[in-house]
Structure 1
Amino acid sequence: MPGNPLWGWLGPLLVTVFGAILRFTNLGHPNAVMFDETYYAKDAWALINFGAEHNVVKDADKILMRGGTEIWQQCAPAEVDKCASYVVHPPLGKWMIGLGEQFFGMTPYGWRFAGAVVGVLSILILARVARRMTRSTLLGCLAGLLLAVDGLHYVLSRTALLDIFLMFWVLAGFACLVADRDWARGRLADWYETSPLSDQGPWLGLRPWRIAAGLCLGAACAVKWSGIFFLIAFAVMSLVWDAGARRAIGLRRPYGGVFGKDLPSALPALALLPALTYIASWAGWFASPGGWGRNWAQATSQGPVFFVFDSFRSWLSYHFQVLSFHTGLATPHNYQSDPWSWPLLLRPVAFFYESPKGACGTDSCSQAVLGVGTPVIWYGGLAALIAMVAWYVATRDWRAGAVLLGYAAGWLPWFYWAIADNRTMFLFYAIPMVPFMILAIVLAAGMIIGPSGAPPGRRMAGAAIVGAFTLLALVNFWWLHPVLTAEIIPYAEWSSRMLFKKGWI
C-alpha cells in the first residue's frame, strides 16, 4: 500500500467522524415508531429478555412511546410458550437492535442505536476497502464521504430495520476477501522467490481474512436470507482471484491448483463456517421454550439425543414455513416498487409523515422521513456502473468485475421474485448495493483524474470534475436533509423536495 500509512487511517477516520455526527445527532427524533420499527424494536426486546420473539398486546406502539415494557406482561415465565410470535427473518439483526435497547432502554434512541453504529462503521470499512482497491487515500476518503451523505444509507442508519445490518455484514465480508486477495498474492510472491515453479503451486495455509469473510457473510445470512446470494457470489469470486494469482506467477495448471490447494480450505471457511454462524444466531430459540414451533415439551421428553434431533427437526420445519411465506408474499403496499426502478429512485418509502399545524410559522406544515437515496450519487452511480461494464469488457480488471458482481448479487435475484411471484418489495432492499455503486463511482473518478504519470493539466481537469461532482452530492444531501430527519418545515418546502411528485408522494 503506497502513501502515508498515518493518513491512510486518519483520513478515513475523519470522514467516519463526520458520518457519525450526522447519524447520532437527534437520533431519537422523531419520537415515534417509524414504519417497520413496530416489528423489529419489539422483536429485539423480546429476544434480549426471553430468547425468542413474542406476541404483544393491543396498542403496543403507544405503550412503547410511554417508555413502558408491560406489553409482554401476558408472557409470564410459566406460560411463555403461549406467546410465541411467528417471524420471517433470522434473529441476528434483531439481537443487534436489542443490544442498543439493553443499554439505552426501550426508546427510539435505544432501538436505533445499533443501526447508527453499524452505519458509521460501514463508512470506515468502505473508505478502507476503496483505498486498498485504488491504492489512493484520497479516493478512499471520497468513497467514505459519499456513503456518509447518501440519503438511503443515512435514513436506514437512523431506523431500526434489518437492512442496514445486512449491508454492513456484506460489506465487511467483501472487505475481508479483498484483504485476503492481497494476503494470498503476497504468500505466492514469497513462494515464487524461494521455490522452483510447479504445475499447481503451494498450499497457502490457513487464511485468516478468508475465515473472517466466512464469519461476516454467515452473519449477513443470519440477518436476512438474501445474504446467501452474496455468500455464493463472493465465494466464487475469491476462488477466481486465486486462479488469477496462480496464473500470474506462471503456473501451468492454475485451476488445478485452485481445486487441489485452495478449494479444500475454502469450503470450511466459506461454506461450513457461514452455516455454523447462521445456526449460532438461533441460540436463543434453541435454548428457550418460547420460540415459534419450538415444541419444547416434546424435545425435552426423551433425553439429550432426542432433544438435539427433535430441536433441529422443529427448526427445519419452521424454516420451511418461512420459505413458503417469502415465496408467496404478494400483498399490495402503497410504497412497494419493482427492482428495475430502484436505481432510478422512482418509488421511495415514507417511513414517517405528520402535518403539525402552526409549528413552522404557517398553518400548513410537514414533518417527514423519506427513505430515498441522494439522487446525484445514485444517477452518477448508474453512469459509473455502465463505465465499469465497458472497463471490464475491455481490460478484465478485477476491480471492475468485483464491483459489478457485488451490485448484481444485491439486485438481480429480486427480478426472479418480481416476475415469478409478483412479490411485494421496497426500495430499501437495495441498500446492500449502495457500497458497490459508490465503489464504481470512485473507480470511475480514478480513471477521470488519471494515473500519477498523466500530464498535470489532465489531472487538474479530472480533479475539478470529481470535485464538482462531490460538491453537488453534498449540496443535494443538504437539500434533502429536512425530509430525511423529520424536520418541521412548511408544506411548500416539503413539496419542492419531492423530485418525482407521482412516485415520491
Structure 2
Amino acid sequence: MAVTATYPTVDSGKPRATAVTESDGGGPPLRDRLVPPMPTDRIAGWLASLAIAAVAGVLRFWQLTEPRGIYFDEVYYTHDAYGLLTHGYELTDIKSGCNGAGFVVHPPLGKWLMAASEWIFGYTDCADVRHGNPELGWRFASAVAGTLAVLVLARIARRMFRSTLLGCFAGLLLAFDGLEFVQSRIGILDIFLMTGLVLALACLVLDRDHGRARLASRLADTGDAPEGRTRGARFGARLGARPWRLACGLCLGAAMGVKWSAVYTLVGFAALAIAWDAGARRTAGVRRPVLAAVRRDGPQWFASFGALPIIVFFATWTGWFVTDGGYNRHRFGNGTWAALHGWWDYQQQIFRFHEHLDASHPYASKPLSWLVLARPVAYFYSTPKAGEAGCATQAGCSREILAIGNPAIWWVGTLALVGVLALWVSRRDWRAALVLVGFATSFLPWLAFPSRTMFLFYALPLLPFLVLGLTALAGVAMGSRTASDVRRLVGSLTVGIYAIIVVLLFVYFYPIMAAQVIPASAWRVRMWFPGWI
C-alpha cells in the first residue's frame, strides 16, 4: 500500500505541497531525502533578495567619497593599486618617490580589483596629483563587493533553509551589520576576502544540491535500489562533471589571492564536501559510503580543492611574472626557474613577516575579544568646532569612522553558536555543520598566534557564518508548517522583533560609522565601553 505526504519546511507563507509516494517501510522517497524541494515563490524570492541588496547598496554607496583623502590603511592599498595599474607590480611608497619595487605582504588580487576601479574613476599618482575622483576610485570596488555579498548570502540562505523568509532574514542581518558596512566603504582588502568566501560558500551549497540530485537521478536510471542490494550499488553511480565544485575551488583560490588566511576555510570546505558526498551515498544505500565517496568523487574533489585553488592563487601573481620590476623578480637571475625561485623566496619572506608581526598599536585586539566587540578600530576621527564642517554646537562636534559590528548580531550570534552546536549534535543537521566549520576555520587559527598584532576587522570572515547560525535558530524558533499556530506566531514575532532591533542599532550607530558630524555629547553617548574610545 502507498500513501502520500507533504514535507514541511519554514517558508514565506507559500508552502510547496509536493505529494510523494512512500513505501510501507516509511520515509520519503530517495530524491526528496537527498534534495528537499525548493520554495515555489521563485520570482518573489528574487525580488525580495534584490530589494535587500538594493538597500545595502544605497547605504554603502551613499557619500562613499567622504571623508576626502586617504584614511587608515588606504595609505598602503590605494598606492599598491596604483602601482599595479601603471606598472603591473606594487611600488615603494610615495614619500620614496615610487622609485622602485615595494615589498608587500598580501597577494595582489584585492589590489587589482581596486586598480580596476581606479582606472575607471580616478587615482592619485606618485607626485600626489589627483586624477578624476580618487576616493571613488579606490572605494568603489569595496562597495560593490560588500553589496554583492549581501545578495549572495540572501540567496544561498534561501537555498540552505528552503525558505525565502529566512533567506531575506540572513541578507538583512548582513546588510545592517556595522563592520561589513564600514569595510565596504574603505579601500582595504578584508571585504574582498569575505566576499570571496561567501561566493565559495554559495558554490559549495549549490554543488551539494546538484550532486545529490544527480545521484538520485543516476540511481533511478540504473535501477539501483536505495537499500543497496543490487550488484552495482557498492560504490554507487558516477556523477560526472561537478561545475559548482570547480567554481567553489576557483573562488577559494581567488580568496587566497586576496589574503592567505583563506587557506583555512579551503581546508574546512574540502572536508565538508567529501563528508557530504559520503553522507549522500549512505542515504542512497551504498554499502561503503566513505570508500565510495573517495573512489567516485575523489578525483574531482582533489582537482577542486587541491589543484585549482593553487593554480588560481598562482595566477593572481601574473603581473609580477610578466614584468621585470617586481620585488625579488630577478634576485636569482633570469629565466623561468629563476623567476619561480624568486617568487617562492618572496612568499617565504611574507610568511616570516606575518609570523613575527608583533608591533604595538592602540587599536590592536585579541581574537576572543572580537566576539564581544571589545576593541573596535577608529579609522578616522576629527573634532570640528562650532561653525566648522557643519557643526552647530558650541561645545564642539565629533566625526568618526568606527569599525564596529552590530552588537545584536555579534553578541547574540556568538551565543547562538551554542544552539547551532546543539542542533548539529541532536539532528546532525548539515547546515549546522557548515556554520560551525566555517566559523572555526575563520577564527581558531588566529588563536595560534597570541603575540601577533591583530585587529577586529580580521574577524569579518566570521560574520557570514554568525549570520547563518542566527538564521538556523530563527528557523527553529518559527517552527515548521506542522507546528501550532501559537508556536508559529510567537516564534515569528520574536524573530521579527530581533530583526527590528538589528536595524535600529544600525541606525543608532550609523553616524559614528559614516563620518557624520554630530555633537560631541551624542558621540559620547554611543561610546558604551571605555574600549570603544
Which category describes the TM-score, using the shorter chain as reference length?
over 0.9
**Residue 413 in 1 paired to residue 445 in 2?**
yes
Native 8 Å contact 2:333 2:339 kept in 1: no
Using the alignment, how far apart are the partners of 1:296 and 1:340 within structure 2?
41
- Residue segments in structure 2 that go unaligned for 5+ positions in a row: 1-37, 124-133, 225-229
Residue identity matched to 2:442: G
- CA deviation vs aligned residue, 1:308-349 (integer Å, no higher than 9, x gap): 111100000011111111100000110000001111000010
| 1:64 matched residue in structure 2 | none
Tell me the distance in 2 between the aligned counterparts of 1:2 and 1:324.
Answer: 50
Structure-2 residue corresponding to 1:350 = 378
Distance, in Å, in 2 between the alignment partners of 1:344 and 1:296 is 46
TM-score (norm 2): 0.88
CA distance in 2 between partners of 1:297 and 1:242 (Å):
45
Say whether residues 1:387 and 2:387 are aligned partners: no
- Provide the rounded CA distance (Å) in 2 between the counterparts of 1:443 and 1:399: 8
- The 5-angstrom pairing of residues 324-363 of structure 1 reads 324-358=352-386, 359=388, 360-363=391-394
Of 22, 26, 30 in structure 1, the residue corresponding to residue 59 of structure 2 is 22
Q: Which amino acid aligns with 1:385?
A: L
Deviations along 1:90-135, one digit per CA (max 9) or x if unpaired, are 0001001111111110111110000000100000110011000110
Q: Which residue of 2 aligns with 1:397?
A: 429
What's the CA shift for 1:296?
Answer: 7.3
Letter in 1 for 2:427: T
- Secondary structure at 2:94's aligned position in 1? coil
Are positions 1:140 and 2:177 aligned together? no
Amino acid paired to 2:152: I
- Do 1:54 and 1:290's aligned partners in 2 also have CA atoms closer than 8 Å? no
The match for 2:322 among 273, 276, 287 is: 287
Q: How far apart are the structure 2 equivalents of 1:92 and 1:57?
A: 21
Counterpart CA distance in 2 for 1:3 and 1:29 is: 43
Tell me which residue corresponds to 1:488: 517
Contact 1:12 1:144 in 2 (8 A): yes
Matches within 5 A, 1:119-268: 119-195=146-222, 196=224, 197=230, 198-268=233-303
Q: CA deviation at 1:194?
A: 2.2
What percent identity do the matched residue pairs reach? 45
Counterpart amino acid of residue 40 in structure 1: Y
* 2:70 aligned to which of 33, 40, 44: 33
Preserved contact between residue 382 and residue 398 of structure 2 (Cα < 8 Å):
yes
Letter in 2 for 1:145: L
Paired with 1:348 and 1:204, the residues of 2 have a C-alpha distance of 47
Tell me by how many angstroms 1:396 deviates.
Answer: 1.0
Measured against aligned partners, the alpha-carbon deviations of 1:355-411 in whole angstroms (never above 9, x if no partner) come to 111132124211000000011111121122111011111111100010111111110
1:3 positional shift: 2.4
Q: Output the amino acid matched with 1:409.
A: T
SS in 2 for 1:2: coil
Deviation by residue 1:245-293 (Cα, 9 ceiling, x = unmatched) = 0000110010111111111111111111110100110000001112111
SS of aligned partner of 1:367: strand
- Partners of 2:189 and 2:102 lie apart in 1 by 17
Answer yes or no: is the 8 Å Cα contact 2:218–2:239 preserved in 1. no
Aligned-partner residue type, residue 7 of structure 1: A
Secondary structure of the structure 2 residue equivalent to 1:87: coil
Considering fraction of residues, name the structure with more helix. Answer: 1
Counterpart residue type for residue 177 of structure 1: L
Q: Which runs of 4+ in 1 moved over 2 A?
A: none
**Secondary structure in 1 aligned to 2:187?**
coil
SS of match in other structure, 2:349: helix
Q: What is the distance in 1 between the residues matched to 2:414 and 2:350?
A: 34
Q: What is the RMSD computed on CA atoms of the aligned residues?
A: 1.1
Residue 257 of structure 2 aligns to a residue whose secondary structure is helix
Q: Which amino acid aligns with 2:39?
A: P
Distance in 2 (CA, whole Å) between partners of 1:199 and 1:256 is 9
Paired residue for 1:302? none
CA contact (8 A) 1:346 1:504 kept: yes
Please list every run of 5 or more consecutive structure 1 residues that lacks an aligned counterpart in the other structure. Answer: 61-70, 76-82, 300-306
Cα distance between partner residues in 2 of 1:391 and 1:56: 51
